[in-house]
Amino acid sequence: MGAKTTETPAMHDVPESDHDLIAAYLEGDAGAFDRLYERNRLPLYGYLNRLVQADAAAVDDIFQQVWTRILDALPRYHDEQRFLSWCFRIAHNVAMDHYRRVPKAETELTDEMAEALPDGQARTAWERLADDELRNALADGIGRLAPEQRDVVALRQQGLSFQEIADLQRCPLNTVLGRMHYAVRHLRRHLAHFTR
């Protein structure tokens, strides 16, 4: 009689790495891609939603394009960087293509951008002005940012470090820091009249 192998619950508790899921998918396990998609779809969609703020239909369209490109490029993925960072790079490229086609996309306020107000003034501005006025002014300010600056802001909101953003955008770290500096400076200047 052969030895019976029993699986313990702990065997199933170990999460599969992105690398393992990619390898399984490339070997024909479609379910592996479903698990990879479920794990990464919300952060990726959130990033795109912050980057292309005013147009939900465009975000959905770009999101689909991104996953199509991910599927096409998956055989060429190398485990040299986090899978999600690699996905962000693809999303960045697709979003930049969108911006080239639509030069000035309207934007919508993200609450995190209220931090662009000068120190100690955000609470006062919120109390003094109607929320809609400030939201409109902030949305206008964000809409005036260069796409690269808006991209840096959105990636930071997703929790990426400046170095990860530099790798993603394929530019020097100082360039990314400069983009963030100019984005915040632009927004502070644009919103200065709200803090007086």
Q: Which of 52, 56, 140, 138 is nearest to 102 (CA)?
A: 52
What are the domain boundaries of the chain? 16-106, 108-196
Are the beta carbons of 87 and 70 closer than 8 angstroms? Answer: yes
**What number does CATH give the domain 16-106?**
1.10.1740.10
Alpha-carbon distance values, 157 to 80, 115, 132 (Å) = 23, 12, 22
What is the predicted pLDDT for the residue at 105?
38
The CA distances from residue 139 to 54, 131, 148, in Å, are 9, 12, 16
Q: What is the pLDDT of residues 33-78, one digit of tens each?
A: 889 999 999 999 988 888 777 677 888 888 989 998 998 899 988 8
CA distance linking residue 168 with residue 166, whole number of Å:
5
8 Å CB contact between 36 and 21? yes
User: Are the C-beta atoms of 154 and 91 separated by less than 8 Å?
Assistant: no
pTM higher than the cut 0.75:
no
Count the Cβ atoms, other than its own, within 10 Å of residue 92.
Answer: 23
Encoded tokens for 192: 């200065």
CATH hierarchy code of domain 108-196: 1.10.10.10
The Cα 66–Cα 70 span in angstroms is 6
Q: What is the pLDDT of residue 66?
A: 92
Q: Give the pLDDT means over successive 10-residue stretches in the chain (196 positions).
A: 47 72 90 90 88 78 90 85 87 82 48 50 46 69 82 79 84 85 85 70
What six digits make up the tokens of 50? 């912050």
Tokens read off for 55: 């147009």
Q: Are 44 and 160 in contact (CB under 8 A)?
A: no
Buried b or exposed e, range 17-27, using 16+ CB within 10 angstroms: ebeebbebbee
Structure tokens given for 156: 């930071």
Nearest-angstrom CA–CA distance, 158 and 43: 7
**CA quadruple 95, 99, 101, 105: dihedral positive or negative?**
positive
